[in-house]
Amino acid sequence: MLGEGIIQGLMETARNFFGSYVEKERLVTVQFPEERRSLPEATRQFPFLLYDGDDPERGLRCVSCQICEKECPPRCIHIEKSKDRKPDFVGKQQFYPAVFNIDVSVCMSCQICVEVCPFDAIRMDTEFELSTSDRFGGLLWTKRELARSNEYYRQIHPTEAGECDERRAKELADAQAKAAAAAAAAAAKAAQAAAAPAAASNGAPGSGAKSEPAKKVVTQ
């Protein structure tokens, strides 16, 4: 019969219309600004820089190695290395970024900077309402605007932040254990060296060669 197919189609439309009142999967939209969906944990928008403690200037994890700058596909990261150094979380002297800019109008949210960063210093934010009337200054984020605390990171990506914290705690413990061992070895060497001159008072070149390895351990 002519028109049968049309009636069949209209029945489907009716089923969907009435079904949307009872079945949740037939109506998936939400009224956006009033109603919001919770974002999945993996969501990524734009990068931010992590800092430990309270001071975004001193606690910044970035050591200015510039790997992300080189690997960034659209080259939206600009880093200038500092002249001086400051201690990082394990107490090692490291450079820090004197300038760290991300041009968010160029960034394509690909997360490659996060993947290549060996210092857990850069992560992806979930914030997406970023419109601004200032095209140039407003979308060029400096070090200060990019810095976020570790607490914030734990809030937005709990699983990932937990793994990251664990890794860093282990690193810190290793470094402390190593430092303690080095200090103990140095103390033992020093005691040995103090005892040695008494035994061989005229062997000046020999004692000099002995003290050098001990020094090396300390610097490592």
Partner 1 sequence: MTSVAEMKAIAGPSEIMEVSMGPHHPSTHGVFRMDVRLEGERVVRLKPVFGYLHRNHEKIAEHGAYLAAIPYTDRLDYLCSMTNNWGYVLAVEKLAGLQVPERAEYIRVIVAELTRFQNHAGLIGFLLQDMGASGTPLMYAFREREKILDLFESLSGARMMCNYMRFGGVRVDCSAEWLDEVRRLVATLPRFLGEFEALLRSNEILMARTQGVGVLPRELAINAGVTGPMLRASGVNYDIRKVDKYGIYDRFDFRVPLGEHGDVYDRYMMRLLEMAETVKILEQALRNIPAGPVMDPKAKLRGLRPKVGEAYGRIESPKGELGFFLISDGSTIPYRYRVRPPSMINLTVLEDMCLGQNIADVVITLGSVDIVLGEVDR
CB of 46 to partner 1, least distance (A): 12
Short-list 143, 184, 150, 182, CA closest to 164: 150
3-class SS of residue 120: coil
Short-list 197, 161, 158, 196, CA closest to 61: 161
- Where does this chain bind partner 1 (CB under 8 A)? 2-6, 8-9, 11-13, 15-16, 25-26, 28-29, 39-44, 67, 71-73, 108-112, 115-116, 124
Report the residue number, 9 or 203, with the smaller CB distance to partner 1: 9
CB of 18 to partner 1, least distance (A): 13
CB of 109 to partner 1, least distance (A): 7
Report the residue number, 17 or 190, with the smaller CB distance to partner 1: 17
Short-list 64, 66, 101, CA closest to 86: 64
Hunting for tokens 């939209």 — which residue is that?
Answer: 29
CB of 110 to partner 1, least distance (A): 4
Dist. CA 188–CA 52, nearest whole Å: 35
Report the residue number, 111 or 149, with the smaller CB distance to partner 1: 111
CA 11 to chain centre: 54
Report the residue number, 52 or 160, with the smaller CB distance to partner 1: 160
